[in-house]
Amino acid sequence: MSQPSPDRSTPSPPARPDASMSLLNNVMDHSLDDGYAEASARRRADGSAGLPRTLRSKLGLAAGLVVAALVVTLGAAEARISAPVVAKEREELIDRIDAETEAADTLESDVDALRSDVSERQRKALERHGGDQGQLVALLSGATPVEGPGVKLVVDDAKDTDQGGGGPRDSSGFADTGRVRDRDMQRVVNGLWESGAEAIAINGQRLTALSAIRAAGDAILVDNRPLVPPYTVFAVGDGKKLATVFGDSADGQYLQALKESFDIRTSISEQAKVRLPAAPSLIVRTAEPKAADSGAADTGKGTS
């Protein structure tokens, strides 16, 4: 029996350890892409024929800086040239504003002087043409100052009142905050008139039969002049009787209810002498012509 021949095939060499890293080896062996290498070679060739790239960049930057410096220099020169013109125009504008302001102040002074002159003429007309009741007419119209006994009534907001104001009145008719309202002062003044006051002033503002007490926001206005608390009311009349009658009246009780319910501060006291100024302005509602005895021009007869 023949023996089997031994296998004489040459064994395959073992695999390289880095056989699985062929892609990495290719990247390492060829770090530069062929296209990139070609572009780099072309740039080097172009650089050999002209200026180096860095030198061209520096020259471009220098040119840009020169242009920027030129623009800034031209702008500064133009500003320096126009500065005196602008300053002159500004001074002229200031002079015009000052002149117009002075003219407006002069006109306002003239208006005040004319208003005072008109008021004085109206007072004299009321005193001269009031007939038998001339003094009473002048008194009721506020044409003349008044001095005599009376009362001093002070009404002020509650001590911890929110200065921002409050809401509307509730169904009882009282203020729902501790702020004094225009309708409160209306009731106070009307109560004093009904109690026998001959003349009344609030914070030095003389009241007449045509005076209006209104509100603008949280402010109280008397004849369109704003007042600030505390509101000091002076009334000329029989002090003792005036204080008693007012305290017992419905308006006096209303003021007392405001004090008890909402801590509105009030006080009333008799005064031996009270002096009230004349009303700042008068309004003549009617006028009747009156012929002069000697043929002179007619004079007016008016009531306020």
In Å, how far are 129, 138, 286, 292 from 132, measured between CA atoms?
A: 9, 12, 18, 20
Say if domain 146-276 classifies as CATH 3.30.70.1880.
yes
| Residue matched to tokens 């009404």 | 155
Sign of CA dihedral 229, 235, 240, 245: negative
**For the whole model, what pTM was predicted?**
0.51
**Beta bridge partners of residue 152, listed in sequence order:** 234, 269
Predicted confidence at residue 248, as pLDDT, reads: 92
Three-state DSSP at 217 gives: coil
Of the candidates 255, 126, 104, 119, the residue with the CA atom closest to the CA atom of residue 190: 255
Tallying the residues shown for the chain, one arrives at 304
- Is 227 in contact with 220 (CB distance < 8 Å)? yes
What own/partner pairs with CB < 8 Å and gap ≥ 24 does 285-293 have?
290/129
| Spatial CA neighbour of 282 closest among 168, 146, 121 | 121
Q: Take residue 41 and report the two structure tokens written for it.
A: 């070679």
Mapped onto helix, strand or coil, the DSSP state of residue 204 is coil
Outline where DSSP puts E strands in the chain.
146-156, 199-202, 205-206, 213-216, 219-222, 225-227, 231-236, 265-276, 286-290, 299-303
pLDDT of residue 210: 80
Q: What is the pLDDT along the chain (304 residues), one digit of tens a residue?
A: 445 554 455 555 555 555 555 655 665 565 555 666 676 777 666 554 445 567 777 777 888 888 888 888 877 777 777 667 777 788 889 989 999 999 999 999 998 888 778 777 766 776 666 555 666 666 667 777 888 999 999 999 988 765 444 434 444 444 447 889 999 999 999 999 999 998 999 998 898 878 889 988 878 998 888 988 899 999 999 989 999 999 999 999 999 999 988 889 999 999 999 898 888 766 656 656 555 544 433 333 443 4
Show me where the domains of the chain are located.
59-115, 146-276
